[in-house]
A = this chain, B = another copy of it.
Amino acid sequence: MGTSSKHGAATPRSLWFDAAETDEELRRTLTRERVVNQALALIAQEGVEALTMRALGARIGVVPGALYRHVRSKEQLQDLVVDGVLAEVDCDLDQALPWTEQIKVLAHRLRDVLEDHPGVATLLKTRDPLGPHSLSLAEAFLLPLHDAGFPHREAGLAFFLIVDYTIGFEVSSSRISVNEQRVQDAATRERLHEFFRSLPGDRFPTLVALGEHVWVDNRDERFTAGINALIDGLHGAQRLPPEYTDHEAVSE
């Protein structure tokens, strides 16, 4: 199995089983696991854009090129980081709860973990999650949906709807960076409100009226309300005929 390093045909399995040989690798100073852990630590401390092969090498005390013995590319490293973060999501659910509650709990757990690792959501959107823990999470989402009676296709749709929203929400609302100012900075927010007030009221009547109430730092509320609305929509769609999605006239 250890021989699968170079021409491994690069099926998704490579992401999967390569790390299984932890027995021998434990004694070595530099392992793939250590590289990924240090990458996570680096991201936690300095943000996701500080994840640089050189910076990571320096942090571990190794020349940049050495990392390539354990990781095929920076992209793969990012995949591994993503999966490492997703591993923190607790996928155990109380199956006695209604499916709507189970999904809500899981979505909130996912968001909390992403919140703890700012910037990682960005990676999640860029790469796609086929690592073992990503799949465990998918399984955890799909099971309640399936048990609730969603047919295969609809369960898939609902799954993507929830996950896309959760990740997308986190990507867009958590753009922070360490040095740059975020909206919850009071001064910046005040400038933003002033900006809205300065807009031409004839062109953006609703916007200037609602502006200060819209661009506020109420991310928790936004996410909770979003997930609730979304799941309510799914709940309603569940009891409708399968032709439910056929509002073709909409997309003109």
When the two chains form their complex, are residues A245 and B228 in contact, meaning their CB atoms are under 8 A apart? Answer: yes
Nearest residue, chain B, Cβ from A204: B139
Contact partner of A167 among B172, B188, B215, CB < 8 A? B172
Stretch from A23-31, A32-40, A53-61, A100-108 at the B interface: A100-108
When the two chains form their complex, are residues A172 and B179 in contact, meaning their CB atoms are under 8 A apart? Answer: no
Contact partner of A226 among B161, B177, B215, CB < 8 A? B161
Q: Provide the residues of chain B in CB contact with A69, threshold 8 Å.
A: none
Nearest residue, chain B, Cβ from A226: B161
Interface residues of A in 128-165 (CB under 8 A from B): 128, 130, 135-136, 138-139, 142-143, 146, 152-161, 164-165
Q: Provide the residues of chain B in CB contact with A204, threshold 8 Å.
A: 135-136, 138-139
When the two chains form their complex, are residues B228 and A156 in contact, meaning their CB atoms are under 8 A apart? Answer: no
When the two chains form their complex, are residues A128 and B176 in contact, meaning their CB atoms are under 8 A apart? Answer: yes
When the two chains form their complex, are residues B1 and A181 in contact, meaning their CB atoms are under 8 A apart? Answer: yes
A180: Cβ under 8 A from any B Cβ: yes
- Tell me, in angstroms, the Cα distance from A198 to B153 when the chains sit together: 20
**A interface residue count range (under 10 / 10 to 19 / 20 to 34 / 35 or more):** 35 or more
When the two chains form their complex, are residues B167 and A2 in contact, meaning their CB atoms are under 8 A apart? Answer: no
When the two chains form their complex, are residues B156 and A210 in contact, meaning their CB atoms are under 8 A apart? Answer: yes
- Tell me, in angstroms, the Cα distance from A181 to B199 when the chains sit together: 44
- Tell me, in angstroms, the Cα distance from A183 to B109 when the chains sit together: 28
When the two chains form their complex, are residues B179 and A168 in contact, meaning their CB atoms are under 8 A apart? Answer: no
Q: Provide the residues of chain B in CB contact with A157, threshold 8 Å.
A: 221-222, 225-226
In the A-B complex, the 8 residue pairs with the closest CB atoms: A168-B168, A233-B233, A229-B233, A156-B214, A152-B213, A232-B233, A142-B206, A108-B251
23 contacts between A and B (CB under 8 A): A1-B192, A13-B195, A105-B251, A125-B171, A125-B172, A130-B178, A130-B195, A135-B199, A135-B207, A139-B204, A139-B207, A146-B209, A157-B222, A158-B229, A160-B226, A161-B225, A164-B226, A165-B230, A167-B168, A224-B245, A228-B237, A232-B233, A233-B234
Q: Which residues of A contact B (CB under 8 A)?
A: 1-2, 4-5, 10-13, 101, 104-105, 108-109, 112, 122, 125-126, 128, 130, 135-136, 138-139, 142-143, 146, 152-161, 164-165, 167-169, 171-173, 175-183, 188, 191-192, 195, 198-199, 203-207, 209-210, 213-216, 218, 221-222, 224-226, 228-234, 236-237, 244-245, 247, 250-252
